[in-house]
């Protein structure tokens, strides 16, 4: 029984259930806040009163979201996917996976979404629970968080994903009375004509270009935010610079309310309502009201003009989503970007119908637009699988797959993906991603630096070892502490014999200094050996008179070298991709480069991080 409870199956089961319940709780909290928002807005007697109540609610709830984030864990702000990339790459983030970060993520995310901020809550189990897409959730989590994936974890991810979606849908069915696909579509077996493939590809190119513009706009907005804080916010806050995130959040919420409320009631729809409207196979009539979340804002897409309203929605949501990602709250981008792409596709489809005077299914263009725009912004292909699972249909499988690839390629031709951009703006440590063709020919010889004079020969005096440890310590100005020392046969041949660690060498030096001051009895020798952390046989070599210790000692005879570990050295012609794989997977701080067994140089993990932008697209 004990072994069963300690098995990974039980842990994964509990993890999946907890993740699904957390996602459902956040979803329910957002629904409650959205209903409160609608009710609070309706309390106003006239249009101006409703406008004021609408704005007051948004500003207040967003300030609470920022407060929860700042109080519990400021590191929880942002998407989280760039941080997970760094964590899975072997870089420590002590506070990011703490309990306080979890509380900040849940509370801050629910409040931020409830305030109407254009963000998302959604990795394998998290995407699965939020979207209801078990297969796509696993593939998406692998794509956005890891460069190297251990395939033995595949079944664990799918097991957790399936359990998560079952629990999430079960909670929806029992407590919310809803079950089934997230976005309902009603397409035929082949709902598009062959010639429409050209229109789909054109839409994918447009989505790819707008995806690149979105990412570049986000980067520009971060620069504007920093300038705004330096020029105005810090001076306004005076001696309380901690209030700057609150002032900025209030300003953003006020500006969003100022723009969105007067534009039209369709701007008050939730993202799910909008996507359901865009995926609707019928026409968007003037009296149509989306009731997916049972919040009646009086949706009206055709007044005064359907094309104008769709264009306004895409334009406003495009910039509001990019700006929302700069606020100090937990946020995601998949769902709002998905909604923007759906509206863009619907707009494109309506224009095609008008120009062609034909009976085309415009909802299909919304599906293709949502998939291709999201793929371009996030840099993922798995969004196609998520679309199939969300809609519950494969009618548009070929157009979606084609357009996802085209949209992603067009965006990445002009810009990095959104998560890579976020990671760079936060200066998160990440291994180089060798995506340029010219990077394929890079080898270990191109990445290495000379190791001289920090190496040891096989026969070395202890005095010279002590001197080497001193000059490579962190106390020396302009130098970092050296932890690994290559040991060569002699300075002429430079044949690499192995690697000695700093701790081992320091133990030798300590024992040597003790031997100069203490008696040479066998008992004392054994005692000193135990204290220094080396064997009695090694201590016997060191327990000679001081005149002898000034002579050379054989490091191989002392058995201090790490000779059998192949991950400490690579041939000079090893491809850079394999070098990065070894360093990231085996957590090697340093690799030594050899050519025909001769030591040529060393590759340091810190150097790869510092030079990562040079070898990245």
Q: Per-residue DSSP letters for 333-390?
A: -HHHHHHHHHHHHHHHHHHHHHHHTS---HHHHHHHHHHHHHHHHHT-STHHHHHHHH
Higher pLDDT, 478 or 69: 69
Q: Is 80 exceeded by the pLDDT of residue 133? A: no
Strand residue runs (E) in 360-511:
456-457, 459-461, 484-488, 496-501
Q: What pLDDT does 410 receive?
A: 96
**Closest by Cα among 585, 603, 612 to 90:** 585
Residue 226 CA: distances (Å) to CA of 188, 219, 234, 331: 50, 11, 10, 19
Tell me which of 565 and 266 has the higher pLDDT: 266
Query: What is the C-alpha separation between 408 and 410, in angstroms, rounded?
Result: 6
- Name the residue with tokens 């009296």: 287
pLDDT over 60 (residue 289):
no
**Can you give the pLDDT at residue 68?**
93
Among 540, 538, 549, residue whose Cα is nearest residue 516: 549
Neighbours of 613 (CB within 10 A): 11
CB 62 within 8 A of CB 328: no
Is the model's pLDDT at 399 over the cut of 70?
yes
Token match 């494969």: residue? 394
Predicted local distance difference test score (pLDDT) of residue 276:
84
- CB contact set of 471 (below 8 Å; sequence gap of 6+): 479
Structure tokens at 582: 């070894």
499 pairs with which residues across the strands? Answer: 486, 562
How do residues 436-460 score in pLDDT, each as one tens digit? Answer: 666 777 888 888 887 666 788 888 8
DSSP state of 443: B
Residues with Cβ within 8 Å of residue 187, at least 6 apart in sequence:
281, 361, 363, 364, 393, 395, 396
What pLDDT, on a 0 to 100 scale, did the predictor assign at position 459? 84
Q: What percent of the chain is modeled with pLDDT above 70?
A: 80
CATH 1.10.3080.10 placement within the chain: 2-176, 196-425
Q: Which residue has the higher pLDDT, 265 or 493?
A: 493
Q: Report, as an integer, the average pLDDT of 280-304.
A: 57
With CA atoms as reference, report the closest residue to 291 among 261, 262, 270, 312.
270
- Determine the pLDDT at residue 63: 94
For 500-518, the pLDDT digits (tens) are 888 888 887 887 777 766 6
As a whole number of Å, the end-to-end CA separation of the chain is 52
**Unique residue bearing structure tokens 């709902």:** 191
Q: Report whether pLDDT(538) > 90.
A: no
Both tokens of residue 330? 């937990």
Task: Name the 3-class secondary structure at 599.
Answer: strand
What are the φ and ψ backbone dihedral angles of 117, each rounded to 5 degrees? -65, 140
pLDDT of residue 241: 75
> For residue 439, which of 608, 575, 569 has the smallest C-alpha distance?
575
In which residue are the tokens 């196979």 written?
Answer: 281
Euclidean distance between CA atoms 199 and 355, whole angstroms: 12
Question: Is the torsion defined by CA of 270, 275, 280, 284 positive or negative?
Answer: positive
| Interval 520-542 mean pLDDT | 53
CATH value of 196-425 in 3.20.20.10, 1.10.3080.10, 2.40.30.130, 3.30.830.10 = 1.10.3080.10
Mean pLDDT of 391-408: 89
Contact 477, 607 (CB under 8 A): no
> HSE on the CB side for 542, CA within 13 Å?
31
Burial call 292-307: b when 16+ CB within 10 Å, e when fewer: bbebebebbbbeeebe
Whether the per-residue pLDDT at 211 is higher than 90: the answer is yes
Residue with tokens 């729809």: 269
Mean pLDDT, range 218-243, rounded to an integer: 84
* CA of residue 115 relative to chain centroid, distance: 24
Q: What pLDDT does residue 349 have?
A: 92
Neighbours of 154 (CB within 10 A): 12
Contact between 87 and 97 (Cβ < 8 Å)? yes
User: CATH 3.10.580.10 spans which residues of the chain?
Assistant: 444-615
The pLDDT of residue 411: 94
Reported as type and span, the H/E element at residue 470 is: helix 462-471
Size (the chain), residues: 617
pLDDT of residue 57: 93
Stretch 267-273: mean pLDDT: 81
Which candidate, 533, 585, 581, 583, places its Cα nearest to that of 558? 533
Give tens-digit pLDDT for 143-192. 877 666 777 778 888 888 888 888 888 887 787 655 455 566 666 667 77
| CATH value of 444-615 in 3.10.580.10, 3.30.70.20, 3.40.640.10, 3.40.50.11710 | 3.10.580.10
Alpha-carbon distance of 508 to 515, in angstroms, equals: 11
Buried b (16+ CB within 10 A) or exposed e, 317-347: bbbbbbbbbbbbbbbbbbbbbbbbbbbbbbb
Q: Is 2 exposed, middle or buried (0-12, 13-18, 19+ CB in 10 A)?
A: exposed
Would you list the DSSP string of 106-146?
A: HHHHHHHHHTT-S-B---HHHHHHHH--HHHHHHHHHHHH-
Per-residue pLDDT at 521 exceeds 60: no
527: Cβ contacts below 8 Å, ≥ 6 apart: none
496-501/484-488 β-pairing: antiparallel
CA-to-CA distance for 214 and 118, rounded, in angstroms? 14
- Residue 14: C-alpha distances to residues 5, 164, 496 (Å): 11, 10, 49
Topology annotation, domain 2-176: Clc chloride channel (1.10.3080)
């Amino acid at each position: 029984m004990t072994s069963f409870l300690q098995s990974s199956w039980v842990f994964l089961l509990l993890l999946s259930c907890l993740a699904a319940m957390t996602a459902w709780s956040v979803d329910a909290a957002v629904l409650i806040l959205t209903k409160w928002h609608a009710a609070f807005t309706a309390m106003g007697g006239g249009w101006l009163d409703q406008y004021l109540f609408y704005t007051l609610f948004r500003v207040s709830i967003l300030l609470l979201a920022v407060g929860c984030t700042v109080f519990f864990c400021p590191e929880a702000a942002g998407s989280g996917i760039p941080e997970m990339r760094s964590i899975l790459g072997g870089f420590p983030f002590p506070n990011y996976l703490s309990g306080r970060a979890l509380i900040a993520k849940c509370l801050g995310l629910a409040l931020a979404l409830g305030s109407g901020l254009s963000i998302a809550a959604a990795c394998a189990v998290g995407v699965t629970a939020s979207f209801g897409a078990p297969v796509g959730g696993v593939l998406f989590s692998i794509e956005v968080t890891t460069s190297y994936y251990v395939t033995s974890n595949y079944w664990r991810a799918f097991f957790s994903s399936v359990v998560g979606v079952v629990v999430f849908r079960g909670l929806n069915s029992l407590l919310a009375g809803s079950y089934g696909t997230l976005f309902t579509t009603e397409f035929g077996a082949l709902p598009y004509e062959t010639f429409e493939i050209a229109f789909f590809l054109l839409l994918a190119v447009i989505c790819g270009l707008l995806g690149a513009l979105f990412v570049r706009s986000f980067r520009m907005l971060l620069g504007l935010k920093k300038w705004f804080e330096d020029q105005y916010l810090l001076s306004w806050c005076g001696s309380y610079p901690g209030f700057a995130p609150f002032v900025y959040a209030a300003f953003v919420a006020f500006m969003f309310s100022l723009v969105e409320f007067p534009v039209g009631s369709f701007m008050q729809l939730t993202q799910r309502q909008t996507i359901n409207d865009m995926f609707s196979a019928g026409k968007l009539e003037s009296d149509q009201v989306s009731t997916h979340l049972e919040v009646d804002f009086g949706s009206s897409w055709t007044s005064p003009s359907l094309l104008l309203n769709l264009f306004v929605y895409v334009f406003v949501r495009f910039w509001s989503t990019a700006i929302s990602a700069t606020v100090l709250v937990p946020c995601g981008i998949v769902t709002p970007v998905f909604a923007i792409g759906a509206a863009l596709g619907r707009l494109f489809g309506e224009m095609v119908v008008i120009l062609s005077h034909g009976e085309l299914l415009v909802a299909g263009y919304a599906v293709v637009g949502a998939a291709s725009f999201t793929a371009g912004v996030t840099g993922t292909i798995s969004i196609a699988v998520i679309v199939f699972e969300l809609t519950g249909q494969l009618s548009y499988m070929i157009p979606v797959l084609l357009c996802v690839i085209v949209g992603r390629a067009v965006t990445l031709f002009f810009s990095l993906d959104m998560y890579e951009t976020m990671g760079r703006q936060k200066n998160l440590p990440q291994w180089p991603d060798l995506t340029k063709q010219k990077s394929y020919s890079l080898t270990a010889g191109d990445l290495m630096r000379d190791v001289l004079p920090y190496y040891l020969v096989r026969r070395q005096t202890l005095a010279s070892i002590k001197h080497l440890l001193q000059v490579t310590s962190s106390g020396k100005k302009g130098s970092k502490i050296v932890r690994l020392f290559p040991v060569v046969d002699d300075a002429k041949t430079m044949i690499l014999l192995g690697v000695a660690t700093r701790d081992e060498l320091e133990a030798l030096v300590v024992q040597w200094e003790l031997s100069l001051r203490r008696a040479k009895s066998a008992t004392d020798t054994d005692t000193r050996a135990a204290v220094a952390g080396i064997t009695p046989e090694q201590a016997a070599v060191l327990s000679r008179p001081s005149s002898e210790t000034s002579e050379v000692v054989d490091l191989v005879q002392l058995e201090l070298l790490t000779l059998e570990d192949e991950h400490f050295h690579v041939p000079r012609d090893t491809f850079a991709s394999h070098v990065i794989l070894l360093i990231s997977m085996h957590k090697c701080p340093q690799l030594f480069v050899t050519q025909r067994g001769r030591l040529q140089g060393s590759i340091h993990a810190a150097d790869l991080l510092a030079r990562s932008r040079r070898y990245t697209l």
